[in-house]
Amino acid sequence: ATPAEERDLVIVGGGVAGYVAAIKAGQEGLKVTCIEKRGSLGGTCLNVGCIPSKSLLNNSHLYHQILHDSKHRGIEVGDVKLNLGQMMKAKETSVNGLTKGIEFLFKKNNVEYIKGTAAFADEHTLAVNLVEGGETSVRGKNIFIATGSESTPFPGLTIDEKKVITSTGAIALDKVPKKMIVIGGGIIGLEMGSVWSRLGAEVTVVEFLGQIGGPGMDVEIAKNTQKILAKQGMKFKLNTKVASGDDSGEIVKLHVEAAKGGKEETLEADVVLVAIGRRAYTSGLGLENIGLETDNRGRLVIDSEYRTKIPHIRVIGDCTFGPMLAHKAEEEAVAAVEFLTKGYGHVNYNAIPSVMYTHPEVAWVGQNEAELKEAGVKYKVGTFPFSANSRAKTNADTEGMVKFLADAETDRILGIHIIGPNAGEMIAEGVLALEYGASTEDVGRTSHAHPTLAEAFKEAAMATYGKAIHY
Ligand code: FAD
Ligand code: NAD
């Protein structure tokens, strides 16, 4: 299309929110353009987030398992050596394959892809600085903003992605640090901390709150997780805040103190990972040119149909409200396009799962105990440990549990929390149950194949309305 030609939809950002909306719009027959400044599609998730981190988590787990958990299985290996360069190459291969795959899907679905940085010139026009040089402009009847998020910086520390790093540096270190301090015991801190701990770094996690796992993780599960990760070698300092940092020398020094004041000490590390959360990103988008404002956390404000106060401009993904998760962005993308083409769309925000890809994995959906207590909901609890599950025993991978929370009166499932092998795959069953308004008895009376880890899921459900058989 020429600059003067008006598209049905122009999308700023080719991350999960943006690229999924573009494909969906193409499928619906809209004339759609997606503008991405990074030079490759897939956004944070594919380029520097979900995908590269999971590649490193998988391969560092294999390495660690071969080193420490193979002899008793009857597997004796010779010299086990880490080839970090090759591990990084394997990561890049998975990233490149997937980002190229989206370009292919764009072509297949007639999505116009412009590599460049977009800024609003007016309410229907975006001025684009092209990656390859030069400028163009694009007009859209409708516009989606899907510009994502960025790491929240830590005041007083300068990110150089070598010594003081964000997750972007943590997926690309060229050697294993001796000592790594992670500021923030949320998902990024625990996933990337796990990777480097498995590869040989001495990792200490400093967390401001009294529990690890970030927002949403059930307290009992978080405690369990901490115990298991500590057994693997990670150290934790909870209820501790970093008061100041000094990154002027080769070794980074962090001055930490008890969150409520009191005990102080100085910690030293050769690499510090700042993982205190992410914040919405809209810099350089020219919002001021169209009078759009952000809230106190930098997020674009929208209504229930993803519309800003300029109704033909919608916002989806990390740069607006809700959990910063790829699959949440994806659901919003489809719903927002459906609002355009059909006039209705829907996302059930109570049934968005969370998964932490450590070993064992942690996964949950719905509400946790603290949230139910605060809401004054009467609930019952059913749990089942993997140590009583035959497949987990066979695999000699028995740490963790499944926990159901259900309405005390109606038995309707309110939340499901899992720590255990393959929890991230298992939670899909929980999401489906929640979506269909299932009771724990619905799950407990559903046949699950034997011997599978999923039987622990069924038995935890049984334990909520009655008794588990094997525990
Ligand atoms: P983004 O993916 O950030 O995409 C926004 C895109 O917009 C970017 O590519 C950016 O370059 C582009 N852009 C911004 N401004 C402009 C402009 N003016 N013009 C043109 N282009 C622009 N989530 C999960 O669900 N599972 C995981 O396992 C997971 N792991 C993660 C691991 C890490 C280390 C990190 C950092 C995040 C992880 N996430 C995970 C979160 C996930 O990456 C985000 O929720 C997801 O990427 C959000 O998608 P988005 O499209 O809203 O934003
Ligand atoms: P987070 O919100 O999960 O955790 C940040 C943690 O840092 C919290 O526990 C918080 O209490 C702590 N913290 C904040 N300020 C601190 C301070 N000054 N000192 C010590 N601790 C402090 O954020 P994150 O781990 O940075 O992840 C960012 C986003 O990326 C999240 O929204 C997450 O959902 C997403 N993400 C998801 C996945 C996944 O789904 N597997 C993986 C990585 C990232």
pLDDT in tens, 161-209: 999 999 999 999 999 999 999 999 999 999 999 999 999 999 999 999 9
Supply the pLDDT for residue 292: 97
Task: Report yes or no: 353 and 327 within 8 Å, Cβ to Cβ.
Answer: yes
The verdict on whether omega for the bond into residue 360 sits within 30 degrees of 0, i.e. cis, is yes
Q: How far apart are CA 410 and CA 415, in angstroms?
A: 14
Model pLDDT for residues 219-277, shown as the tens digit of each residue: 999 999 999 999 999 999 999 999 999 999 999 999 999 998 888 999 999 999 999 99
Residue 166, pLDDT score: 98
Using the structure block, give the residue that is written with the tokens 């588990």.
468
Mean pLDDT of the chain: 97
Instruction: Report the percentage of the chain scoring pLDDT > 90.
Output: 98
| 273 close to ligand 2 (CB < 6 Angstrom) | no
Q: What is the pLDDT of residue 263?
A: 87
Indicate if 450 belongs to the active site: yes
If you measure from the C-alpha of residue 27 to the centroid of ligand 1, how many angstroms do you get, rounded to a whole number?
A: 23
Nearest-Å Rg of the Cα atoms of the chain is: 24
Measured from the alpha carbon of residue 188, the closest ligand is 2
CA-nearest residue for atom 26, ligand 1, is 50
CB neighbourhood size of 41 (10 A): 27
Rounded to whole angstroms, the maximal C-alpha distance in the chain is 69
Q: What is the pLDDT of residues 25-61, one digit of tens each?
A: 999 999 999 999 999 999 999 999 999 999 999 999 9
Give distance in angstroms: CA of 253 to centre of ligand 1. 30
Q: Which atom of ligand 1 is nearest to the CA of 192?
A: 34
Taking the C-alpha atoms of residue 447 and residue 445, their distance in angstroms, rounded to an integer, is: 6
Mean pLDDT of 94-100: 97
> Residue 465 to residues 306, 378, 383, 430, 450: CA-CA distances in angstroms?
39, 14, 11, 16, 22
| Across 360-381, average pLDDT | 98
Quote the pLDDT of residue 2: 81
Per-residue pLDDT for 3 more than 90?
A: no
CA distance 189 to 445: 38
* Res 4 pLDDT > 80: no
Residue-wise pLDDT for 425-461, tens only, equals 999 999 999 999 999 999 999 999 999 999 999 999 9
Residue nearest to atom 11 of ligand 1 (CA): 38
Token pair recorded at residue 178: 């001796």
Residue 310 has a pLDDT of 98
Q: Which of 150, 188, 272, 357 has the most ligand 2 atoms within 8 A of CB, as the residue to mutate?
A: 188
Q: Is 236 near ligand 2, meaning CB less than 6 Å away?
A: no
